[in-house]
Amino acid sequence: MKDIKKIILPNGLRVLLVPQPSNLAATVLILVEAGSEYETKQTNGVSHFLEHMMFKGTTNRPKPGMIAHELAALGAQSNAFTDQEYTGYWAKVQAEKLPQILDIVSDLYLNPIFDAPEIEKERGVIMQEINMYEDDLPAKAQRIFGALVYGDQPAGWDVAGEKKIVAKLGREAFTAYREARYVTPGTVVVVAGKFDEKTVLAQVRRAFGTLPRRAAPPKKRTVERQSAPRVALHFKKTDQAHLVMGFRAFTIFDDRRFALRVLADVLGGGMSSRLFMRVREEMGAAYYVGAGTDASLDHGMLGISAGVDRAKAVAVTKAILEECARLRDELIPAKELRKSKDHMLGNLVLGLETSDDLASFYGGQEILTKSVMSPKERAARIERVTAEDIRKAARTVIRAQGLNFALVGPYRSKETFARILTL
């Protein structure tokens, strides 16, 4: 892969070109600084609803279904997504058809029409999406956990929004939010795979170059206050209990996040991790169990999730806490540290095989931090992590004062779990 290029147009739009000449495909990804953490209580869910509406018609493709049919006729793969801190629109196609998908994706970003009948139809679709997530118990546990940790502020709200709010969102909310957040300095256009640089850049300039530069309102800072463990239970008669446990951690700008990522891999990064071996293999108490990190602009998390035998939920919780305490109190043996690093480095390489993987890897960094780290640089940062670095990170993060626990299952008493949440 050749070196990537970052071009900033005079209006502030950022363009990332990620060439991979050996690829047979190319991807266009447009990312914008718009997500649930940029919403108000009255507009929670607007980022996600807006993302849906962008596909429902443009001034150039006004009829519903035109965008989907045109992409299908090109043999393209396409989708969109909304996260807490950004929204993305992408399409991938055979490299020679790149100009067509760049035209389509830029059109839906630039020229949506928000037709009133389509808004009402899509409102019903989103209501069903919310219902689907409500019935997805692992996802339900994650949402309860987020609300527990961050409370009634944007970081604690559901990306899809609440039904009562989604029911009221209309064209005025979409246009006002888009006017505020879909601005050139807050947008990144990524092209990855096989392409001609001059042709692509000229097309991007034609599509986006005349847009005026406007500044977006700043994100409201997330407030973090906690002095003791917190518990949230959602009672449901189930055979399997779904738990999420986590500790407040580092932002995306904190270099200690690399040590924490290695810690998370040792703890629950795969089938040979400590939690997998103990909770699944030794206790036979879970089908899925794992750990990971989430580093955001102004908050972070070390999280652990598991789907466990309802009769063993307390025992599993104790076991997880014991494994967390071990990482805080003991140095990781050299052989185990090497295994986890190799696991992470292997996943890093395998996760960059396709053009859409590359676009996400670079674009995701750029939209949040306005800078990018190459795979080689990221690998070097992982390699530099020592056992002592991990123990220091663990001693900072794995503390009762930042511990949160959420569970979906047949339990009503918080005290059942509160009394064992000690470290």
Active site residue 37: no
Active-site hit among 51, 85, 122, 323:
51
Enclosing H/E stretch for 69? helix 66-73
Contacts of residue 271, defined as CB under 8 A and 6 or more positions apart, other chains included, come to none
DSSP one-letter string for 257-298? HHHHHHHHHHHHSSTTSHHIIIIIIIT--EEEEEEEEEE-SS
Q: Pairing between strand 187-193 and 14-19?
A: parallel
pLDDT above 90 (res 292): yes
> Tell me: the pLDDT tens digits for 112-147?
999 999 999 999 999 999 999 999 999 999 999 999
- State the Cα–Cα distance between residues 411 and 235, nearest whole angstrom: 6
Tell whether the torsion through CA atoms of 146, 151, 155 and 157 is positive or negative.
positive
- State the Cα–Cα distance between residues 143 and 236, nearest whole angstrom: 15
- State mean pLDDT over 37-59: 97
Please tell me the predicted confidence (pLDDT) of residue 98.
Answer: 98
HSE-CB of 155 using CA atoms within 13 angstroms: 19
At 43, the pLDDT band (50, 70, 90 cuts) reads: very high
List the domains of the chain with CATH numbers: 5-208 (3.30.830.10), 230-418 (3.30.830.10)
Please tell me the predicted confidence (pLDDT) of residue 15.
Answer: 98
- Tokens representing residue 320 in the block: 């997880």
Q: Pairing between strand 240-248 and 87-94?
A: unpaired
Tell me, yes or no, if the pTM score tops 0.85: yes
Q: How many CB atoms lie within 10 A of CB 319?
A: 22
Closest CA to 369 of 54, 95, 16, 2: 16
Closest CA to 342 of 266, 256, 252: 266
- State mean pLDDT over 362-389: 98
Give 329-337's long-range contacts (Cβ < 8 A, gap of 24+): 330/391, 331/387, 331/388, 331/390, 331/391, 332/266, 332/387, 332/390, 332/391, 333/387, 334/387, 336/266, 337/262, 337/266, 337/387, 337/390
Contacts of residue 235, defined as CB under 8 A and 6 or more positions apart, other chains included, come to 409, 410, 411, 412
- State mean pLDDT over 395-410: 97
pLDDT above 70 (res 1): no
> Tell me: the pLDDT tens digits for 216-260?
999 999 999 999 999 999 999 999 999 999 999 999 999 999 999
Mean pLDDT of the chain: 97
- State the Cα–Cα distance between residues 135 and 131, nearest whole angstrom: 6
Q: Pairing between strand 230-235 and 403-409?
A: parallel
Query: Do residues 250 and 242 make contact, with C-beta atoms less than 8 angstroms apart?
Result: no
Query: Do residues 133 and 139 make contact, with C-beta atoms less than 8 angstroms apart?
Result: yes
Name the β-bridge partners of 30: 89, 189
Please tell me the predicted confidence (pLDDT) of residue 91.
Answer: 98
